[in-house]
Structure 1
Amino acid sequence: MHLIFFLFLICLSTPAQATMEEAIRAVQAGNYQAALAEFHQYARHGNPVADYWIATMYMKGLGVEKNMDTALTYFHKSARQDHTPAMVVLGNIHLEGKTGKKNINLARGWFNKAAKAGDQYAMLRMGEMYIEGIGVAANPTIGIRYIKQAAKTGYPKARYILGLAYLQGIGVEADEQRALFWLKSAAESGFPDAIKLLKQVQN
């Protein structure tokens, strides 16, 4: 009986997942109206991915008139359900002033929340903000901690920056061996800047 019920649940869930994937493909193919209708259907049932895509379409004007207020509403709805891509976009929106005014504190808050949830891009952004002193007192040591977290997830850009930090002694003691380790790791992932710098260091 339990097996029959389990199989029944699988049958119900599989089409829903496929339909969401189809809606995303529809956006990529330029079939915006069909995609938007599908996303709204899932958003009504509390799907944060659907909220994220609706927000993206309104922010970019894909099949609808651009409307940042509507986009923000759906990004916030998605972020409140712990969808880290929405948190990252909100961070970038406030950092770049896409609402008409920059808000560095809000940007940092969203990046930090996404970083704590494991988002590698958010970790990188937090690191850059502390290294460069964007909205906070510059503190390369704290910044490199975030970069290390991102690098350990396998993020090529973070590995490149960490290698550069060890090479130049930014936020860490200069260490050529560690620099080479991280630069090689980034280069093996195909990161162009790492490949170029590695050639210069090894010549």
Structure 2
Amino acid sequence: MRSKLAPPSRALLPLVLLLLVLTACGGGEPSKFAGSTLENPYRVPDVALTDTDGAPYSLAADTDKRLTLVFFGYAHCPDICQQVMGALAGAMNRLDDADREQVDVVFVTTDPTRDTPKALHQYLERYDPSFIGLTGDIDTIIEVGKPLAIYVNDGKLLPTGGYDLGGHSTQVTAVDSADEAPVYWDQETTQAEFAADIHTLLAKEN
């Protein structure tokens, strides 16, 4: 005798329908812009730092792409920097080729004593070889960050042999082709949100 599968009971139908809706929505892109838009964009300072090849690099003069995402952090950061850099790397992988060609990601160290050009290069290789690393003396790094509302505190060696970096801001800042920073994201932004926002910003400029 052939067995037949019983249809779901009426009591289970609402749950089945809910699961179908959630499954259909699970792979979609965020519908809301995740970044914070500034009515008065920050002006990007034309102050040269040094990239991992030893060449001068200014966030104003040398950002040639239509959109540059800038994050200040340090390689020995145990948590937030890894979270943000992982999200940025994932976002770049989500972009199609047309969008990706128009975007750079720049990491500015807040720990230049330990983040030598070689160490910085090796750190960024773990996330994306195309990421640009910048270093310099701490006073210049602070000077670059200040107009972008980036707080950077000079780190100090502790008597115990440890290192107290003091702290730094954790937002990611968007620099556009006009050398202005009109948008920033907080540390909780996901890779999907970054990717969707990047696509939206690039589409607005077309």
TM-score range, shorter chain: under 0.3
Q: Which has the higher strand share?
A: 2
So what's the TM-score if we normalise by structure 2?
0.24
Q: Which has the higher helix share?
A: 1
